[in-house]
Structure 1
Amino acid sequence: MKAAPALPDETIAVTVAEGEAGARLDKYLTDALAGKPEGGKFEGGKPEGNAAPHETPSRARIRQLIEEGHVALEGAGGAKPVAEPARRVKAGERWRVTLPAPSPAKPQGQAIPLEIVYEDQDLIVVMKPAGLVVHPAPGNPDMTLVNALVAHCGETLSGIGGERRPGIVHRLDKETSGLMVVAKSDRAHKGLSAQFAAHGRDGKLARAYTALTWGVPAKKRGTIDANIARSSHNRVKMATVKARVGEDGDDITGGRIAITHYAVKAEYADGLVARVECRLETGRTHQIRVHMTAIGHPLLGDPTYGTGMKSRKAKLSVDAQIALERLGRQALHAHHLGFEHPVTGEKMSFDAELPADMRALVEALEG
């Protein structure tokens, strides 16, 4: 079934009044969009333009909108996105908030091939192929992994995550392939969510990724500890940022703690390319891609962070160049997933070979 046409995005404009200056951006916008006074002294900042949003965003949602580039400060040169939730607003500033239109409330089942690795009454482990979005969103209202799961599982998927994300407890980028676990029962959803929130610190969850990087890291094994925030220059990109503390002790960069452990497993083409295993201690958007780029080793094929590599690509063999072109995505695959079964307590462990496109590239590099 084809999804209903997407609704238009909604834009709200607010102007900071004298009595509101100094408030955190996320707190100010939360109160302004709700029509509530800031600190009991609401003196302006009434929403302008479009009608008030159908549903007042929570502060957490406002923070997410800021980090995703949906909040912009108007100026002489036009509206410029600001990705710092803790920034202090100033009197007279005019802010624009774009509220993305919601996806259809309930995803419909669609006949999309689904590779099932394991399934029981509480959960299902699947192999997500590259090119498949995990759940419906404004830019991808249907033909997602969730639509495939709804077709396979019917009404048995857990609803705790909301109607648009039934059973989803973690995600992979659209062009990242690999293992995912999805909750079918509410009990499984709660248990798995807790494990993913702990990121393995409780010894229950283990995730490992295979990445092909440009160049070989000087340290064959190491830890990348660098905060990640939405790029202030490109809303599509994330970037590492240095923590910057404001007067009240808040981190005003908008960055979040991000830690990646890596180990070089193989080297190809006289050190032009490395096969690296990455394990996450946190789960930030594009984390592996951003962190490997930050240490000078972006992923092969990455259209967002791996550009400017023409000179290196030219040094590869013809077969490797062809295989890289055919890959057409970042060379990243979630090859290992381990967790404690949230209902039975059994230790579950799954491993997956590289998909055909990455395997072909490795074979060409080895040749």
Structure 2
Amino acid sequence: MILVTGGTGLVGSHLLYKLATTTKNIRAIYRRTHKLESVKKVFSYYTEDFETLFDSIDWVETDLNDLPTLSEAFNNVTHVYHCAAFVSFEPDKYHQLRKINIQGTANIVNLCVANNVQKLCYVSSIAAIGHNKTNDIISETTEWNPEYDNSVYAITKYGAEIEVWRGTQEGVDAVIVNPGIILGPGYWNGGGSGSLIKQVYKGFSHYTHGVTAYVDVWDVVAIMQKLMQSDIKNERFILISDNLSFKEFQDKTAKILGVAPAKKEASKFILEMGWRLDWLNHKLFGKRRRLSKQVAKTARTKTFYDNSKIKNALGFEFSAIDNSLETVCGYFMKDQRKS
């Protein structure tokens, strides 16, 4: 039996689709019933028979911190894909992030140990990779720097990785993948790449020259499966196709969508003022944080990641980001026409 956590998210839903088309005995956990519609929507992009595929999965309603029901979900499980996470860069969400990302992962690891699970694949993030003080390309060997001004999300994803490494010391074979920004359809309001594409469509007013990394969701899924089927264990792998500036990403996406790209640069001064005003708005009026200090810094930081380790380990070739954007934007426009 294969167990997938976070099955209602971008990676989890695509992974489940692939598993359901090739494998029997798949179980997935979900937290809220209405989220299951997102999975059906993703399945419907790729097949007309999505209801049958969806129903072939053993769905279990539970929570990463609901140990009684979570324990039941581990019955007869041999392999676990841990995709569940809480994604937020709002500083006031730190304790919630810790509870889900760190404590939740600790629970998954403990149950893997208790149930003699053969292998665990954990979906982390490039946010959990260390930063260089120089402009060197970041790889899996780059050390985490606790003195760096890390985001609350990065801190908790790194903490979750520590729990996975603990599990390897207690007998669980594990692999960790660290994807960049994942490009995939179906989640236009979830805060990931889908919401970025939607925002480009609506119109970004500013751009920055900060650089980060991107990867296709199907590449992430394919690599996860290959790693789980391989003899590779107790390793982590950066999964990225290309390093792009935020301006490049916006310009490419705007061109595909047929909209005007952002014309003005968000200077360091604008970003510095922006996160301070955002903080003040939160303190005075209780508004949700939209631009934290760390996010403002990331927007103008040029960070380049190295994908050679996974390419060498599996002989894997990543999809071109231009092709991924074409595909994802195509699904976005179809959904726009339907709505």
Decide: shared fold, TM above 0.5: no
More strand per residue = 1
Pick the TM interval, shorter chain. under 0.3
Q: TM-score, normalised by structure 1?
A: 0.23
Instruction: Tell which structure's C-alpha radius of gyration is larger.
Output: 1
- Bigger proportion of residues as helix: 2
Which protein has greater RCO, CA pairs closer than 8 Å, 6+ apart?
2
